[in-house]
Structure 1
Amino acid sequence: MESDDTAVLIGVSRYQDPSLPDVPAALNSLHAMHRLLTDPDLGGWSEERVFVLEDPVGAAESALRLHRLAEETTGTLLLYFVGHGTVTRTGELCLATGDTQIRYPDLTGLEYDKVRGALLESPAQVKLAILDCCYAGRAIRGLAGSEKDHLAEVTDIHGVYTLTAADRTAHVPPDQTAACTSFTGVFLDVVREGIPGAPRVLALSDIYPELKRALKTRGLPEPNQRGTDTVKAYPFSRNVAYAGGEGFRLVPQERVDFFFKILAAQPRHALTAVNLENLSDWPGVYLLHQGRNDAPEIVYVGKGDRSIAARLRDHLRKIDGRCHLDLDEFSFNYLKLDDDLDYVAPERLMISRLHDQGLSPAWNHNGFGNRDSGRMRDTIRIDSGNFDALYPIDLTRPLRTDGPALDLTAHELALHLKTELPYVFRFEHRRDALDSTRLTVPEGPLPADRAFRLLAAALGDQWQISALMGRVLMYLEQRRRYPSAVRYYAGEEVSDVIPDCHTLTP
C-alpha cells in the first residue's frame, strides 16, 4: 500500500565487535528524534508513518526494510541514522549494524550504496537523509582526491537532501547515560528553540546555518549538506520562535510557493502518447509548457484529482486536433500528491502567484481545460482570446492516411468520427434515419472535412453539420446559425463563414 510520507529512523547503540564500542547516546538520539518528528507542535508527522529500527543486528534486515518502505512512499521519504560509521577498503561509507565487523564492513555492514539504491528507486518526491555517524561526510564529498568515491551522487537526483554530522570522527559527550550525540543534540536544540527572525515554518535552509554555527561555537565537528535549492526549502518544522505564533499549517501563500518550487523543478517530459502511457495513474498537479528552448512558457497549470495521466491525455488529444499548434513544442512536468489538492496546491492560488511574477499562464481560464460544454452553450458568443478562437479545430486532419473503400451506414461513420476525432463531435441519435442511410467511403486518405461532406451528402439537406471553432455538431435541423461556426455542411452544399466573437479590449 502506497503512502504519502515515511520516516525511517535507525539507531544502533550495541555492537558485537569489541573494536566498535557501544554508543548509548545513539539510542537516546533515536528516541529524541522520534519525539521531535511526531510532536504536533514541531514536526507534525503521523506516528503511523514513522518507523523506528532500534539496534538492528543484521545489515540485510535494515536494508530490506528500508527498500520496502521506500518503494511504498510517494511524498516525503526521510532516513535518519545514528551509530557508528566506517569505511570500506574502496573508501565507501558503511553504516554499522549490531553484527558489523570492523575488518569486513562491506560484507557485514550496511553500505551506503544500498541506501543510495533505496533513494534512487523510491517514487518519493522529496528525499531526506540525515546521517549522524563517523565519516558521514563521505556520503557527500567522497574521498579527497578521488573522483570515484562521490557516493552522494544520489543527491544529483532531483529532490534529495543529505545532511551529515562529520567528515571524520563524530562526537559524543563523555557521559552518555541520558545525553544525545553532539550532532543530534544540537540539531534538536535548534529546532526546539526555534530561530528568531525566520519564517513561521523552518525549512532545511533555515536550520543548517544555525546548526553549523552552534556546532562550530562549541568546538564540535562541523556538519555538511548537499541538495538542490528546491529541496532545501522543505518545511521541516514549525518555528516556535516566530513572532506571529501562528499554527503549524502553512498559510496559503507559503504553501503554494513551496509546492510551486517543487513542481517547477521537476524534470520536463515531451507531451507524447508514449510518455503518458508510462505515467501511472495518480492524483497531483502539473505544468504544461510550450516552446522548444530551455525555458519554455508555462501555458497551463492543472491538477488531476484522480489521474494526472488522464488529464494530460485529454490535453494531448485537444492540442493535436488544433490549427496553429505544433505538438512537438509541448512538454509537461508533474508532482504526485495523494492529498486534498484544493488545500495543498489550489490552482487559483498557483495561477495568481505566477501572475505576480509576470508569468501568467495563457491557457488557464480561456477554455482550454473545458470539456464539452453541452447543447445549451453552442449558441454563446465566445471571446476572441478564447482557446477555440485562437486555435480552431483542424478540419484537414486525416482520419486515415490510406485504406480500402468502405460501405457504411451513416450511424457507423458518425460513431467512428466521434471516436477518432481529437475534438468533440456531437450528433443527434436518430437511429432510424442514421441506420437506414448508407454511404461509401472511397479508398485512400480520409480527412475530417471529406468525411463530413460524405455524411452531409448522404443524409440530405434536412440535416446540418456545423463545424464550430471548438467542436462539430450534427443535428436534424435546417439553416440554424451558430456564432462560433466556421463551416456548414448541408446536403451537397458546403459554406464557410466568419465566426462572431467578442473582441477583447486591453
Structure 2
Amino acid sequence: MESDDAAILIGVSQYRDPSLLDVPAARNSLHAMHRLLTSPELCGWSDDQVHVLEDPAGATDVALELYRLAEKTTGTLLIYFVGHGVVSKSGALCLAAGDTQLRYPDLTGLEYDKVRSALLDSPAQVKLVILDCCYSGRIIHGLAGVGESQLVDSTDVRGVYTLTAADQVAHVPPRDETASTSFTQVLCDIVRSGIPGAPPTLALTDLYPKLKSTLKACGLPEPNHRVTDTVESYPFCRNVAYAGSTGFRLLPQEHVDHFLRIFAAQPRHDLTTESIERLEDWPGVYLLHRESSDAPEIVYVGRGDRSIAVRLGQHLRKISGRCHIDVRDFSFSYLKLDDDLSVLSPELLVLQHLHAQGCPPLWNNTGFGNNDAGRMRDSIQRSGDHFDVLHPIDLSWLVRFDAPVLKVTAHEMAAQLRAQLPYAFRIERREAELDEVGITLPESSLCADRAFRLLAAALGDSWQISALVGQVLMYRERGKRYPSAIRYYAGTRTITEMPEVCKTAGLPDEG
C-alpha cells in the first residue's frame, strides 16, 4: 500500500568494533529529531509517518527498511542519519551500523550509493536527506583529501534536498549524557526559535544560512547542502517567530476559536462497546479522556477520516489488552465534521490549543495510535515513555476455542489467537507446515501465555514465539533476540526477559 509521506530516522550510538567509538549523543539526537518532526507546532508529522531505527545492528536491515519505505512513498520522503560515517578505500561514504567494521566499511556499512539508489527509485515527489555523520580519531584522517565534489556527485538526484554536517563533526563532551550532536542540536534550536522576518513556513534552504552562521560562530565546522529542482521551497516546519501577516487565512482565527469552543462543550461517553455501537459511521475528531486521582485528563486527540466509531473501537480493543491500565477509567467525546479532514487536520488545531494551555495529551506521538508497521521495526528499542513500554501486552488475555472440538492444527490455533487477541500476532507464512502439526487443547478457554506454550511445544525448537511489549511474533528462527521482548517460547522452553526500559513499568503476568 502506498503512503503519502514517510520519514525514516536512523541513529547509531553503539558499535561492536572498538575502532569505532560509541556516540551517546547520537541517541539523544535521534530522539530530538523525532520530537521535532512530530511536534504539532513545528513540523506536524504524525507518529505513524515517522519510522525510527535506533541502534540497528546490521546495515542490511537498515537498507531493507529504507527501500521498503522509499518504494511506497508518493508524497514526501525524509531520511535522517546520525552516527559514524566511514569512507571506504574507493572514497565512498558508508553509514556505519552497529556491527560495521572500520576495516571493511563497504562490506559491513551502508554505502551512500544504496541510499541514492532508493531515492532514485522512489515515486516520492519531495525527498529530503539530512546526514549528521560523526567521525572520531582515525576516521577524520581517513576523510582527508575527499573533496566536496564527490558528495555532490552522489547526491545528484532530481527533487532532492541534501543537508549534511561537515566532515569533521565536533563531539559533545562525554560528561554531558543528555546532549545531542552539535549539528542536530543547532538545527533543532533554530526550528524551535524560528526566524524573525521570514515567511510563516520555513524550508530547509531558509534554515541553512542560520545553521551555517551559528555553527561558525561557535567555532564548529560548517555544514554543506545541495538542492535540485524546486524542492528548495518545500515547507519543512512552521516559523514560530512569524509575527503575522495581512495575507488571506483559509481558516480565520474566529472560526478556529468557535470550533474549539464547540468541541470542548461536547458530552463525554464511557469507552465501551455499547457507546461506540450507538455512533454512526461519520468522519470527525475525538478526544480520549482518562479519570485520575486528581482530575480527568485528555490523553489522546485523534480523527476518523471515514468513521469515528471504527477508530474508537480500535482504541478500546488496544487498551483492553494492556497491563497497568483499566479501560473503565476511559471516556470519549467527539464532534462530527463535514469537511475534508485530510486538508484541514482539525486534530492539529486541538493539539496546538492543548499545548498552548500547558496540558499536551500524554499519548500523542508516543506510539498509542500506531499500527503494526512490519518486521523491520521489531529490532527497535522503545523509549521509556512509549505506550508499549508503559502498558505492555497482557499475556493473561483469555482466548476461547470452538468447543467441543479441542483437537486443532497449529494453523487453526494460530488463526484463533490472531482473531481474538487485542494486539498484533504476526505469523510467518508457512501455512502448509502449520497444517501438519496437531495440538490437543486441554480446555476450550486458555490464556494467551498458556496457548503460546502449547503452540511452541507442538512446533518444536525450529520455531520461536517472541512476545514483545507491543505485539507477538511467530517465526521459524532460533535464538533470535529482540530489544523489546518480554517473553520467548521455543519448544518446551519459556524464557522471560525484562528490557531495561520496561523495569519501571513492570512485566505482564504469566497468567
Q: TM-score by structure 1 length?
A: 0.49
From the CA coordinates, give the structure whose radius of gyration is larger. Answer: 1
Q: TM-score by structure 2 length?
A: 0.48
- Greater relative contact order structure (CA < 8 Å, 6+ sep): 2
